[in-house]
Structure 1
Amino acid sequence: MTAHNNDQWRVAMREWREHWRLGLAALIGTGMCLSVWPSVSSLFVAPLQEAFGWSRGDISLAQNASLAAALIAPVLGRLVDRVGVRPVLIGGLLLTACAYFSLALMHGPLPLYYLLYGLLSVVGAATTGLTFTRVVTGAFVGSRGLALAITRSGLALSGALLPPAVFAIIATYGWRMGFVALGTLILLIALPTAWLWIRGASVAPTSAPAGAKAQISLWGLLKNHKVVLVCVASALNYAPIVALLSQFQPLLVGKGLEAASAAALIGVVGVSALIGAFVTGMLVDRIWAPLVACIFTLGPAAGCLLLLPESLEPWVAIVALILLGLGQGAEIDVVAFMIARYFGMRSYASIYGISVFCIAVMIAIQGSLIGLSYDYFGNYNVALMVAAGCFVLAALSYLGMGRYPTGDQVSAAAIDTQVSSSASAAPSK
């Protein structure tokens, strides 16, 4: 076991010496682009409510913009598989910054907010795991799980540091400057690092093996039941966390915490997500990934139940947020790892795009209903119980993935051939 671990660390060191620029650019970009928005979005709820008189239900309906992102994600995935990561990512970074600046200039009415939120969701889809995990999985093979964890730490760190920073900016300068700050981070840091360092063969389109079809159709991929299973499981896992994050500050305030303390506690999610990312990243290189995913998905279910009492002790809130953060940190790493491990790289972005589609649809549903649930029931308890149920279903779904397609070192071409064969056969049971 020791020799095996030493070999893995040697592989990791060699791959990071060769591709550290790619990994660092992905780490920075992941922590500063659209993926961090769920961690800070709840900080804008009360200011927008005060500025325009909108209800929390009105504001949460903007989550329906995820449906537009859902429709575009599989198309973006196909585009990444065809032309490579770089052009899609660079364009997405520029447009996402512009979308944040547009929100800062907004003066109402409510439909305009929905329109701009939709624009942010659509163009921002090109700056999420759809592109950044493709960068990492293409460059790192022997230490893929660890590399994904290190990259994911960028989002975990920003999830810990940005909420209190953005809260301070909003409190001092107003909500408009909060949006300006988010756009400026992209233009001054994420875009330059991506432009300079995300390049080379590992982020180019993956060529088809001799004798194979150039690219499997989306419908062909969907005929593989494991593709559907991993995508649905990722949606049931990730969407409830995003929905809860969108209302976390008012949720915690309603449970008896002060507004500033609630904003600071959101950072606990980011810290625990960082831990979850590293732990799961190291585990999936050694242990069956669906089992790791199952364990780390049951934790958030318990966290939701801890948040049910009408009055929370601070330590209970902290434990609940830690469990939710561990699950959030694990989800992106494990799903990205499983897509590459079960299906290879040739259709990686296409399958990841399908998972984003499923996640976005679920976010639109749950993100809208959580605010409406508060408006109807006067609290978030029903939403918390529904979220707990989704986490349990996701945990069970991961276990349905079964064994890896071949041995420990399966080639991408062999996995892609399996998917192609499955797609041309009758639908799976």
Structure 2
Amino acid sequence: MAVLTAANAIGQALASLNLGLFIKPMGDELGISRAEFGWAGSVRSIAGAATSPWMGRLVDRHGARWLLAGTTFIAGLAVMALAWIDAGWQLIALIGLMGLVGVLGPNQLTTTVPVLKWFVAKRSRAVAILSIGAPLGAVLFLPLTQYFIDDFGWRVAWLLLGAIAIVVIVPTSLKYVRREPEDMGLLPDGRVASSSGPGDLDGIEEYSWTTKQALRHRSFWQLAMVFSVVMFALGTMALHRLPAFVERGIDPTWVAWAVAFDATLASISTLILGALGSRVPVRYLGGAGLALMGLSAWILLVGRTAEEMFLSMGLFGFGIGGLLYMQNIIWADYFGRAHVGAIRGLVNPITMLVSATGAPIAGYVFDITGSYEPIWEVSIWLMALGTVAVLLTPPPEPPRDA
């Protein structure tokens, strides 16, 4: 758990959430447009969509031990290579490479699937702990990234961030990560298989859908739609809100701290959800998170002061905690753990291809109109649609022949 949570945290340093802090310095020096920064994130998603089905099957079959180490090593080198770029296409290519190897932030299969396989009865708490990784990473790496940029320049900042990822994650993944509890003579939730009677699985096992069964069920497609529209809306805001606040006259250091505040509240949110998850259906918890993100987007649209920025970021933090929690747990809760890697590997291309257009479209809207407001208004309505849709998507009943 510690290694996987740390991997999610350090993922925020790999041209993910912290990429927005590089828009101004790299754009001013190299002339890279907002749309090109948007396309960098989108190409990452598109590349990840292309390899996600294959990656999901590999994680199911072989586990995440070598995959997490290898993909982090490649992504770390790609981040370090950003220190030597001088054109927008190079930025897009290197960040796209990270997506190609499956380094996609807090929802990457190499960190989420192992937790879903190791826990059933305790899954809610385990996923909450895992989900803390991304916001904690933001708390640490957003201010640290801004410090590196201010004191050493953006090129050295990329070198340091890539090196941190390789040094921390590669050796610990190889030493501690394993595929599933049965590989070590255990049962889910830490139970010991060798001393268990047949009844010891009662109450902790669940029906596991095959990929074909999941694809035939309406709940799979409803969830795919929810995450697609929500991630599109998120894409229009997450990257571009940072330079937008700076352009409204707010000091960049305050912006970095506001994102850290956002992440702190996201950590608190995931802990609360982990405590509630065994009693409250996950779709209700996730729906509440989406509603808070919609309110945050409205304040982002109208806010102009530092106080309004912190309010927007705080609501966004509570909301994104709900989204991350729901994304990480709902597929196993609805379709079981045996094939969850393959099932998530199938849904990822759908959500990624749709969401990939969010950041570049927002960039084009800004480049053409000089404002993000038109696209952010659309995003508010999409958040509302996602909230209603997820509330109307109950867990599927197992097939009659189960």
Distance in 2, Cα, partners of 1:96 & 1:394:
31
Match of 2:381 in 1: 389
Aligned counterpart in structure 2 of residue 327 of structure 1, from 285, 295, 319 = 319
Pairing partner for 2:146 from 164, 167, 175: 167
- The equivalent residue for 2:355 is 363
Counterpart of 2:62 in structure 1 is 83
Relative distance call for 1:35 and 1:53 in structure 2 (3 A) is: closer
Q: Distance in 1 between matches of 2:235 and 2:162?
A: 20
Q: Which residue is equivalent to 1:287?
A: 280
Distance 1:203 1:295, change over 3 A: farther
SS at match of 1:402: coil
* Cα distance in structure 2, aligned partners of 1:200 and 1:244: 35
Residue segments in structure 2 that go unaligned for 5+ positions in a row? 185-207
Cα distance in structure 1, aligned partners of 2:102 and 2:235: 15
Paired positions, count: 379
Q: Structure 1 234/204 Cα, relative in aligned 2: closer, same or farther at 3 Å? A: farther
Looking at structure 2, the residues matched to 216 and 143 of structure 1 have their Cα atoms a distance apart, in angstroms, of: 23
Cα separation, partners in 2 of 1:109 and 1:38, compared to 1, 3 Å: closer
How many Å apart are 1:234 and its aligned residue?
2.1
Letter in 2 for 1:88: L
Cα distance, 1:61 vs structure 2: 2.2
Deviation at 1:239, TM superposition (A): 4.0
Q: Which of 195, 207, 217 does residue 224 from structure 1 map onto?
A: 217
- Counterpart residue number, 1:145: 124
1:235 is aligned to 228
Cα deviation, 1:363-395, whole Å, max 9, x if unaligned, reads 321011111111122111122212212211211
Paired with 1:268 and 1:111, the residues of 2 have a C-alpha distance of 32
Partner of 1:39: 17
Among 340, 351, 376, the alignment partner of 2:368 is: 376
- Give the residue type in structure 2 aligned to 1:147: A
1:43-99 residue CA offsets vs partner (Å, 9 max, x unmatched): 111121122112222332223312121111122112212222223222211211121
CA distance in 2, matches of 1:243, 1:420: 43
Aligned to 1:268: 261
Give secondary structure in 2 for the equivalent of 1:125. coil
Q: Deviations over 1:207-232 (max 9, x none)?
A: xxxxxxx9945x65322221122222
Please name the residue that 2:299 is paired with.
Answer: 306
| Aligned counterparts, 1:75-154, within 5 A | 75-106=54-85, 108-125=86-103, 128-129=106-107, 130-154=109-133
Q: Superposition RMSD on alpha carbons, in Å?
A: 2.6
Residues of 1 paired with 2:354 and 2:269: CA distance? 23
TM-superposed deviation, 1:321: 0.9
What is aligned with 1:345? 337
Identify if the C-alpha distance between structure 1 residues 262 and 386 changes in structure 2 by more than 3 Å, giving closer, same or farther: same
Instruction: Tell me which amino acid in the other structure corresponds to 1:297.
Output: L
The 8 Å contact of residues 12 and 138 in structure 2, kept in 1 or not, is answered as no
Q: Percent identity?
A: 22
- The match for 1:179 is 158
Shift of 1:356: 2.5
4+ long deviations beyond 6 Å: none
User: Which shifted more, 172-181 or 158-167?
Assistant: 172-181
Cα deviation for residue 297 of structure 1 reads 0.7
Query: For the structure 1 residues 50 and 226, does the alpha-carbon distance in structure 2 shift closer, same or farther, using more than 3 Å as the test?
Result: same
Q: For residues 244 and 419 of structure 1, what CA distance do their matches in structure 2 show?
A: 43
Matches of 2:182 and 2:239, distance apart in 1:
32
After superposition, give the CA deviation of every residue in 1:102-161 in whole Å (9 maximum; x if it has no partner). 22222x333222211211222243775312111212222222111111111121111112
Structure 2 Cα separation of the partners of residues 419 and 48 of structure 1: 57
Distance 2:209 2:296 in 1: 42
TM-score for both structures, normalised by structure 1: 0.82
Shift of the 248–346 alpha-carbon distance from structure 1 to 2, 3 Å rule, reads: same
Shift in alpha-carbon separation, 1:355–1:215, aligned structure 2, 3 A: closer
Residue in 2 that maps onto 1:244? 237
Whole-Å separation in 1 of the counterparts to 2:355 and 2:19: 13
In structure 1, distance between residues paired with 2:294 and 2:179: 41
Secondary structure of 1:307 counterpart:
helix
Shift in Å, 1:419: 9.9
Structure 1 residue identity aligned to 2:17? S
SS of aligned partner of 1:287: coil
Compared with structure 1, are the counterparts of its residues 278 and 35 closer, same or farther at alpha carbon in structure 2 (3 Å cutoff)?
A: farther
Residue type at the aligned position of 2:382: C
CA distance in 1: counterparts of 2:104 and 2:366, whole angstroms? 32
Letter in 2 for 1:57: A
What is the rounded CA distance, in whole Å, between the counterparts of 2:36 and 2:133 in structure 1? 31
Tell me, yes or no, if structure 1 residue 196 matches structure 2 residue 175. yes
